[in-house]
Structure formats: structure tokens, C-alpha cells
Structure 1
Amino acid sequence: MKVYDALLLVSFGGPEHPDDVLPFLANVTRGRGVPPERLAEVAEHYQHFGGVSPINQQCRDLRQALERGTDLPVYWGNRNWHPMLADTVAQMRDDGVEHVVAFVTSAYGGYSSCRQYLEDIAAARAAVGPSAPEIDKLRHFHDHPGFVEPHADAVRAARATLPPGGTVRVVFTAHSIPTSMAATAGPEGGRYEAQLRETAALVSAAGAPDLPWDLVWQSRSGPPHVPWLEPDVNDHLAALAADGVTGVVVSPIGFVSDHLEVVWDLDNEAATTAKSLGLDFARAATPGTDPRFVAMVHDLVRERVEGSSRRSRLGTLPLWDACPAGCCPPPRRGPSRE
């Protein structure tokens, strides 16, 4: 049985003031050769919300909820904005913490959704030095009941807001990634998309078993000549409308909370697309601080502490506690957001 003396919440981070937006985006895109006009376009999305991303407050809320269910002190550090991960690791060191279990707010495998967090944790520990605490990342949780069930209930609730009758389809969304990254996700390749398809099937079976569903992609930000996973959600909505579909439930299963890429890319852009096509549109909520999601984190910690092979899960894809060395190599860089 492994003993931990702290729980670390690790997230992407986001600006909390208009003056933070461009420095934040510079952190996110450093070394990627992103054109200034693309940064300006993304910055404008943040300015629609006063220059404040919802993600940091959502992390504060999740941290507070996690603190109520554990005796471990709960710390929080971000990859791209304050509180920065290296600062949090330094604080844990100063507090005498030696062994940390980390929950990352990303359910899936892949470079951006898993490997890059491992790299950032390693870089933060290196910045702090030899006295930095050991940090073990918890496993992927794409098929954990505490993740699937809140999404399924949200699909059911969103569907109930649509007008009765008509032809309704569930559209599951996740962040698009370069196809080269998708092909190398996981030791056997394709892990990111495979996990998302498993999650979509599980959520559909629990939340809308009588409706057809699709998995599509959102928030593409790379250069046009680099292939990314398709179809884009907006293109897919147009195709559904052309096929006679009258309403859609859009469920962002790629996300754990309603941060910018949900409230802008779906609630604004996709909803506008649906309206222009005459499609009834309902966006399903994300887990956020749903008690089942919070309990899932504690369950994952117990699972790691006890070293048990018994896992709370609904799917069948292989899972592991530690990613193999060299798993999910970085792709050619393109701009990204939350």
C-alpha cells in the first residue's frame, strides 16, 4: 500500500483579467510558431467574457469539493496560468509534502490530454529541485461511472428541453487533434479516439439509448494544411440538417467542466450554426462538481493507494496506472486553447 500526503489538482489554466489574455496565450503557444493574427482571434473569444476564462473558478470549486471528502491537503496547479504548477510544487515542498497523487482534469490518453501533463509535472519538479515531492498521476477515467453517469444525466436533461416530435440526434464532441497525434496516442495507437468512442457509447446507452449518435470534433486551431480529426461540429450540424434531422443534443464528453471551449465554441458558435440551419439545439452539461464526479476522484485515489486491480469502470479498453516511456509522442505543433 502506497502512502500519499497530498492530492494535487492539475489543470490547463486560464486568464482572469483582460491583461492576462495575451500573456496566457503566449504561454500556451510558446515555440509553436502561431501567427499573431491567430492569437488575436483567440484573444477576442476571451474578451467576450471580460477577459476571464471560467476554468480557474471551476478548479477552485472542484478543489473545495475535493477537500470535503479527504484527509489529504488538496493543492492546485496549472500548466499555463497562475497558480503555475512549479509554484504549487514549491509550496508543497515548503509544506513538507513528499508523496503526491495528482488528478489531471483530462479523462483521456494522448499527447495533449495526458503525456504533456506528465512532461509539465516533470518540468515543475525539475524547477523546484531535488527536494521536490514525488508526484504520481492518476489513471485515465473515461469510462468511470463517476464520469459517464453525470454526462448521461446531462444528455437526458438537455433532450427534455427540445420540442416534442421531430428527428433528434445526439452529437458528442471533443477537442480535435492532428491526425498524426491521434495515430500515436497510446502504446498501440489510436487511444484518444478509441476512448472517446467508448465514452460516447456508454453515455448514449445510459442517457439516450433510443437515439442515434455521432462523435465529432471541435475547437480545431491548427494550420489548414495540417490534417486534424474531422468532421468539425459545425460542418456536421449542416450535414444533419441536410439529412432531415430537426434537433440535436450536443454533449461535450471531451471536457470535465464548462470552460471557454464549451461556452464559446458550442454555446456560441455551434448554437449559432444550428439556429441558421433551423435545428433545435440543446447543449448537455459537463460534470463540473457533480458529487459523483468528485467521489470518482477519491475512488481513483483509493484505487492507487490500495494497489488494487479492481477498478470502477464500465468499458473494456485496457487501462494502466503508469504510461509506457515514449507513449504519445508530441506532434508538429499548432495553436491550442483550453
Structure 2
Amino acid sequence: MPDARDASPYDALLLLSFGGPEGPDDVIPFLENVTRGRGIPTERLKEVGEHYFRFGGVSPINDQNRALLDALRKDFAEHGPDLPIYWGNRNWAPYLTDTLREMVTDGHRRILVLATSAYASYSGCRQYRENLADSLAALEAEGLELPRIDKLRHYFNHPGFLEPMIDGVLRSLADLPDDVRAGAHIAFSTHSIPTTAADSSGRVEDHGDGGAYVAEHLDVAKVIADAVRERTGVDHPWQLVYQSRSGAPHIPWLEPDICDHLEERHAAGVPAVVIAPIGFVSNHMEVLYDLDTEAKDKAAELGLPMRRSATVGDDPRFAAAVRDLVLERAAVERAEEVTPCALGALGASHNLCPVGCCPSRAPRPAAAGADSPYA
């Protein structure tokens, strides 16, 4: 194991997330930020905004990030390393550029980044790297000394990410009525993305047939299903499903959709379903609306007992996993021998995104990768 308190050469950690509105007046400006450059009409944004307005115009993601920050700071204070932790968002305050400016002003020059996305994909990895490059370019234009930025590896198969989800599925199964529990189906849910984006996710050698995005989710689902079988003695059938599709109807996206899946499982005679949102770190809007609202309503309409298991959120085991990832990457940078911690069949992800990893349709500079313009 790496030294429990040595994060050198790094001098700060940045929590990088999506962001969300914190009141009704924020909703449309936030959605304009999210869709900038796509030509989405305001009327369509207002339709999407109804998802937020039904929850008071507030996305839970910012409060969830505050809770994760508290958990990380508590864990680091108790166990080391002595590393300040900052927070910046892609689409809402605190904005990434403002946070990086603050970090540079505070004297930080070697920064590690934790993105609140565990898997390989354009929107979950490379787009954040593009955001970092944009922010570094803005700071460079201001004449500031630029820090070196590295991104923590994908943590989808780290035990500290998986164990809370395993426990969540077990709790959901235990909460089902006795007469349907043994036959319950597990629907492992994640964000749908265009099939072309899925096929090109991960390293070039991983491209095709869903790419790293689908492979990583399938690996996580199998680890959780196997753990549930080992701890309960029941082999529950399962499937990877998708939610939160957006975009033009003629563009193929990953399927099946969770609500379609519930209908199909009900027609097949499944007595109950547990939905496990393995693609999400916390209970943000896609979980609250697509699962706790739409999928819940669909299950009720079908008369199908359904439970939704917990996301990782600010679980102390996840905070400890982040600490482990920080110390692991620091040891790698110091050229020390490290055994990365990972469950499942895929092994630990790469530390440095290679050229061609999760490419965008219109190539843009991306920091913290092999193709970064910022060494």
C-alpha cells in the first residue's frame, strides 16, 4: 500500500462535477449552459425544465456534492493525506474556471481531479478533460501560472464504490414482500448515450460493440449480482438497462429503456424488480425523476412491486476509496510500485487517457491525458 499520508507531488484535490440549478430562476440558464452550441430552442428547454420545477427548481446534485466534500475532508483529516479539497462544476456555480483560479491564487501547482463519473465515456470523461483545457486556456489568457493537472482513474470497479451498491441492493431485496423476494429481478440502470458514443468509449482497442462504457457497466453488474448470490443464496436474474435518453428520435441510443424493461419483465411474469442505479454516484435529477418518478409510476401502473436501491453518495467507504485512489496515483507519480485495487474481470483502469480515448465529434483540446496541450 502507498504511504498513508504522502500525496506528493500533489498539493490539492479538485472535485469536478456537472452542477445543477439551486432555485427556479436558475433552471433555464442552467439548461442553456448544458446545451450551449446545440441549437436547442427555448421552448424545449422549458419542457425539460419541468423535471426541475416539480422539485422546486432545485437539483439535488449540489447538496450531494457538498455532502461528499464533507465526507472527503473528514476522511482525509482522520487518515491523511493533508490535502486541501476544492469543488468546481461544468454547468453551474461554483464554476470550474473560478475554482481553478482560486486554486492557483492559493498557490497550488499539482492538482488531482476526481470527476463524479465512474465510467469511460465522452460526457463522463473526455468532456470534463475538455472543460479543464478550456479553463486552463482562460487562466493562461489572464497571465496566471498554470498548474499541472492529472485526473484520477475510473473507479467503477473499486471496492469502495461497489460495496455500498451491493449493500443497497441487499437492503432493497430485504424490503420486498416475502412472497416475491426470491423471484425478484435486478435491473442495473445507467444513463443511455448514443450507440456511436458508446462504441467509441474507452481506449481505441476497446472500441466497438458498446465500447468500454457498456463493458464496464456489465462488469459492475456481474460483481454486484454475484455478491448478492453469495450473501443470500439466491441467484437473481439481472439485466443492464438504460434511462434518461434525450436527443433526436432517429439517432440510436442504448436500450432497453427502464420503463420498457419494466413492462417486458411484468409481461414475462417477474414478481418484483429492484432497480440499481449503478451509473450514478448520487441521487441527482436523473435518479429522482427517471427512476423515483417515471419508473416508480410505471411499476405502480403495472402492479409490479419495485424498489430502488441506493447510490453511493457520501458513504464513508467511497470517501476512503477516493483517498486510496489519490495515494495510488501519487505513488505512481513518484515511480513507486503500486498494486491498484479493483474487483471484477476488467482490472484497474488506465491512469492517463490515451490518444483516441472517448473521442468527440469535433476534436477539441483536452487536459490531463496523453494528448493534452498542457504538460
The question of a shared fold, defined as TM-score above 0.5 by the shorter chain, is answered with yes
2:166 to 152, 170, 176: 152
Other structure's SS at 1:68 match: helix
In the alignment, the residues of structure 1 paired with residue 273 and residue 75 of structure 2 have an alpha-carbon distance, to the nearest angstrom, of 36
Matched, 1:22 2:53: no
Aligned partners of 2:12 and 2:83 also within 8 Å: yes
Q: Which amino acid aligns with 2:244?
A: S
Is the Cα contact below 8 Å between 1:89 and 1:132 reproduced in 2? no
The equivalent of 1:184 in structure 2 is: 200
Q: Which residue does the alignment assign to 1:101?
A: 112
Could you tell me which runs of 5 or more consecutive residues in structure 1 were left unpaired when the two chains were aligned. Answer: 333-338
Q: Does 1:135 align with 2:156?
A: no
Whichever residue aligns with residue 121 of structure 2, its letter is G
Distance 2:39 2:147 in 1: 34
Three-state SS of the structure 2 residue aligned to 1:264 is helix
User: Normalising to structure 2: TM-score of the pair?
Assistant: 0.86
Distance in 1 between the 2:267 and 2:90 partners? 41
Larger mean Cα displacement after TM superposition, 81-90 or 321-330: 321-330
Aligned to 2:245: 220
Identity over aligned pairs, percent? 54
Which has the larger displacement, 124-133 or 71-80? 124-133
**1:331, distance to aligned residue in structure 2 (A):** 4.6
Contact 1:246 / 1:278 at 8 angstroms: preserved in 2? no
TM-superposed CA distance for 1:126, in Å, is: 1.2
Q: Rg bigger for which structure? A: 2
Asked whether 1:320 is paired with 2:336, we answer no
Aligned-pair CA distance for 1:144: 0.4
- 1:2–1:304 Cα contact (<8 Å) kept: no
8 Å CA contact 2:10, 2:112 repeated in 1: yes
- Letter of the 1:58 counterpart: Q
- TM-score, normalisation: structure 1: 0.95
| SS of structure 1 residue aligned to 2:136 | helix
- Note the C-alpha offset of 1:64: 1.2
Quote the residue 2:93 is aligned against: 82
Moved more, 173-182 or 64-73: 64-73
1:40 equivalent in structure 2: 46
Q: Aligned to 2:56, which of 44, 50, 61? A: 50
Q: Which amino acid aligns with 1:162?
A: L
Distance 1:32 1:174 in 2: 23
Counterpart Cα distance in 1 of 2:129 and 2:167: 31
Matched, 1:121 2:150: no
Structure 2 counterpart of 1:68: 74
Is contact 1:180-1:331 (8 Å) kept?
Answer: no
Rounded Cα–Cα distance in structure 2 between residues aligned with 1:198 and 1:114: 19
Out of 274, 289, 308, the position equivalent to 2:299 is 274
Q: What residue is the counterpart of 2:316 in the other structure?
A: 291
- Structure 2 residue runs without a partner (length 5+): 1-6, 77-81, 363-375
Alignment match, 1:251 = 276
Count of equivalent residues: 332
CA distance in 2, matches of 1:131, 1:153: 45
